[in-house]
Amino acid sequence: MIEAKSIGKFFSVVNEKGLAEGLTAVLNVSLTIPDGKIVSLLGPSGCGKSTFLEILAGLQAPTDGTIHIDGKLVLEPLPATRKEQIAYRRRYRFISPLANGVFRDRPKHDIAMIFQDYAVFPWMTALQNVVFALKLRNADRRGGTALKKREIEEKSLYYLHKVGLAASAHKYPSQLSGGMRQRLALARALSVEPKIILMDEPFAAVDALTREKLQDELLRLWYETSETGNPITIILVTHDVQEAVYLSDEVAVFSPSPGTIRNRMPVEVRRPRARTDAELVEIHERILAMFQYDINQESDYSI
């Protein structure tokens, strides 16, 4: 269970006159997400969705409020001692989200994150990218469950196959299209089989058809984990109302900056769902009406 309580985030910024200014990116956001649910965060550009997601992941500290995952406080990823800090920098310079294990009191929240710019390493092939993530995760699991080299490679190929990238395993990100890079980021996040996946607009760069295919693939993977009795929790930031409604158990609609949750819309339609389901369409329209209302109130923002 993820519990965000009264989360606020305030940034100090320097304006064009060189003066310090404050900006409230997230204001008083409380959200409780039970295990195994799919929740979408929907809202206009700049309303603090990515910031909130990074706070959930423990990558940024909130200025107000707390996040607990399974009763454990999520801390900003600062190593406690100087020695740990040096080791941390040396080892995890590039991929802090997967490096939960070395954090201050080792909270070990089992989270994978897909960033908005789907940070994959350009100097590694698709396969090496996934292998690297698995190796990092493996290093965390010293002892018992560590995978062998061959198993890591097999698993990496398995997840590349799942996102339709098996044939591109040996290509570098620069040789992939934007959508393929996004799928690679998805494969990398899935490969570590986390309990929670945080996704920041994971399907933004793919065409409509591929997008629908990936949404269904994500749901299929989610089903698979729920059949084992341990369903993965997915939190998804998106601009796509239809995607949010189709995928989610609940849609949290953010208001324009400063971002705060203006409505929580449960989507209680049984899965598998039809995209054209009347109830889904109705929720979709209600959300669009909310945005329309915001646009009428404040004419200078776009979703």
Ligand X SMILES: Nc1ncnc2c1ncn2[C@@H]1O[C@H](COP(=O)(O)OP(=O)(O)OP(=O)(O)O)[C@@H](O)[C@H]1O
Kindly list the residues in this chain that would bind ligand X in the complex (CB under 6 A): 11, 13, 23, 25, 45-51, 116, 257
CA-angle at 194, arms to 190 and 197, nearest 5°: 70
Compute how many other C-beta atoms are within 10 angstroms of the C-beta atom of residue 76.
13
- Output 50 or 60, the one with its CB closest to Mg ion: 50
- Output 132 or 291, the one with its CB closest to ligand X: 291
- Token pair of 117, please? 């710019």
- Whether cis (ω within 30° of 0) applies to the bond prior to 272 is yes
- Output 246 or 254, the one with its CB closest to ligand X: 254
- Output 50 or 215, the one with its CB closest to ligand X: 50
Query: Which of the listed partners (ligand X, Mg ion, none) does 13 bind, with a CB threshold of 5 to 8 Å by partner kind?
Result: ligand X
Compute how many other C-beta atoms are within 10 angstroms of the C-beta atom of residue 90.
8
Identify residues 243-272 at the interface with Mg ion (CB under 5 A).
none
- Output 25 or 184, the one with its CB closest to ligand X: 25
* Closest CB 50 distance from Mg ion, rounded Å: 3
End-to-end Cα spacing for the chain: 30
List the one residue from 26, 42, 44, 50 that touches Mg ion (CB under 5 A): 50
Task: Give the total of residues touching Mg ion (CB under 5 A).
Answer: 2
Compute how many other C-beta atoms are within 10 angstroms of the C-beta atom of residue 213.
16
Q: What is the DSSP string of 174-197?
A: GGS-HHHHHHHHHHHHHHT--SEE
Q: Among candidates 124, 131, 178, which has minimal Cα distance to 155?
A: 131
Using CB under 5 A as the binding rule, whether residue 40 contacts Mg ion is answered as: no
* Closest CB 117 distance from ligand X, rounded Å: 10
Amino acid at 189: A
CB burial readout 171-205, b (16+ within 10 A) else e: ebbeebeebbbbbbbbbbbbbbbbbbbbbbbbbbb
- Output 215 or 257, the one with its CB closest to ligand X: 257
2 and 67 in contact (C-beta within 8 Å)?
yes
Query: Which of the listed partners (ligand X, Mg ion, none) does 223 bind, with a CB threshold of 5 to 8 Å by partner kind?
Result: none
Query: Which of the listed partners (Mg ion, ligand X, none) does 263 bind, with a CB threshold of 5 to 8 Å by partner kind?
Result: none
* Closest CB 259 distance from Mg ion, rounded Å: 10
Query: Which of the listed partners (ligand X, Mg ion, none) does 168 bind, with a CB threshold of 5 to 8 Å by partner kind?
Result: none
Query: Which of the listed partners (Mg ion, ligand X, none) does 25 bind, with a CB threshold of 5 to 8 Å by partner kind?
Result: ligand X
Bridge partners of 21, per DSSP, are: 13
- Output 54 or 294, the one with its CB closest to Mg ion: 54
Query: Which of the listed partners (ligand X, Mg ion, none) does 46 bind, with a CB threshold of 5 to 8 Å by partner kind?
Result: ligand X
Residues that bind Mg ion (CB under 5 A): 50, 116
